[in-house]
């Protein structure tokens, strides 16, 4: 039977986390016990995961979890896999207000719920609402929220939402319909990724409708594609003052913060 070390010495993609997943051991444990021989059942399970990973299925969809900020979140094929870039939105939002300020926040396109839930965990007194159009994604978000109090709503962006918020935050779909990057993202939901010819269809809708749903001096905080900041800034200028443009940790333009005029 094959030993852990045979797999570890192979060039199989993500073999260490795959072994850890199947054997329910951490990396250090795998190395200490690298003489362990996998049972037939474990080998069958591991080989099936290796096959899926080789076909390009992201590791997060195999494990069912992805880390974001300081927690693990359940993910399924109905939710986008959280990206480290999106942690930027959390830091910007937290910096906007004093720790004890009570504010209302709307997370648009919540997916697995990472933004709404992380903010709720960091600021217990914030009143948080989260919207998504996808029922299955909302189910995952609700499971991730556990007992965290968030008002989840199934809705098409801001259509017929009458409430006003202090902060609207969104990581909307922003990829161009014919982008070459979509090939690498084929296992993630198209609805979470693609936004028309220029990738700006959803961002446009959000920017145009947000003024009706923001309190006086309210903020709109958006994640966007690395090449979209100038265009978005222009669209925002009708109703908003641009507060700040942000780069992600790879120094790519990635987020924009605007305040209602």
Ligand X SMILES: C[S@@+](CC[C@H](N)C(=O)[O-])C[C@H]1O[C@@H](n2cnc3c(N)ncnc32)[C@H](O)[C@@H]1O
**Residue 200 Cβ, how far from ligand X at the closest point, in Å?**
13
Cβ-based neighbour number of residue 15 at 10 Å: 19
CA-to-CA distance for 66 and 237, rounded, in angstroms? 36
Instruction: Extract the tokens encoding 224.
Output: 């966007």
Among 172, 199, 218, 225, binds ligand X (CB under 6 A): 172
> Of these, 5, 25, 52, 191, which contacts ligand X (CB under 6 A)?
191
Distance CA 81, CA 155 (A): 21
Which of 114, 119, 194, 203 touches ligand X (CB under 6 A)? 114
Distance CA 134, CA 122 (A): 26
Residue with tokens 């480290």: 84
* 119-148: contacts with ligand X (CB under 6 A): 131-134, 137
Q: From CA 153, how far away is CA 138, in angstroms rounded?
A: 8
Q: Taking contact as CB under 6 A, which single stretch among the options 34-42, 45-53, 79-87, 250-258 is the one that binds ligand X?
A: 79-87
Q: Is 110 in the site for ligand X (CB under 6 A)?
A: yes
Among 6, 51, 91, 156, binds ligand X (CB under 6 A): 156
Angle CA 158–162–167, to nearest 5: 65
Count the Cβ atoms, other than its own, within 10 Å of residue 248. 17
Nearer to ligand X, 7 or 152 (CB): 152
- Decide if residue 58 touches ligand X (CB under 6 A): no
**Residue 171 binds to ligand X (criterion: CB under 6 A):** yes
Binding site for ligand X (CB under 6 A): 80, 82, 86, 109-112, 114-115, 131-134, 137, 156-157, 171-173, 191-192, 202
């Amino acid at each position: 039977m094959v030993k852990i070390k045979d797999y570890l010495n192979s060039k199989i993609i993500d073999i260490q986390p795959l072994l850890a997943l199947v054997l329910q051991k951490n990396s250090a444990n795998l190395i200490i016990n690298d003489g362990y021989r996998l049972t037939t059942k474990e080998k069958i399970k591991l080989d099936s995961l290796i096959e899926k990973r080789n076909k390009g299925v992201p590791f997060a969809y195999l494990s069912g979890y992805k880390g974001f900020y300081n927690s693990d979140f359940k993910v399924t094929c109905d939710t986008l896999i959280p990206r480290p870039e999106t942690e930027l939105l959390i830091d910007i939002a937290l910096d906007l207000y004093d720790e004890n300020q009570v504010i209302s926040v709307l997370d648009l396109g919540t997916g697995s719920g990472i933004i709404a839930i992380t903010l709720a965990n960091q600021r217990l007194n914030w009143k948080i609402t989260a919207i998504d159009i996808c029922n299955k994604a909302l189910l995952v978000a609700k499971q991730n929220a556990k007992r965290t109090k968030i008002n989840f709503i199934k809705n098409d962006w801001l259509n017929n939402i009458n409430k006003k918020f202090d902060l609207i935050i969104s990581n909307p779909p922003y990829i161009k319909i014919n982008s070459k990057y979509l090939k690498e993202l084929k296992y993630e939901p198209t609805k979470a990724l693609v936004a028309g010819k220029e990738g700006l269809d959803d961002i446009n809708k959000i920017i145009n409708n947000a003024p009706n749903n923001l309190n006086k001096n309210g903020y709109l905080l958006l994640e966007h594609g690395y090449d979209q900041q100038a265009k978005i800034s222009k669209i925002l200028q009708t109703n908003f003052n641009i507060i700040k443009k942000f780069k992600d940790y790879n120094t790519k333009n990635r987020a924009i913060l605007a305040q209602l005029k």
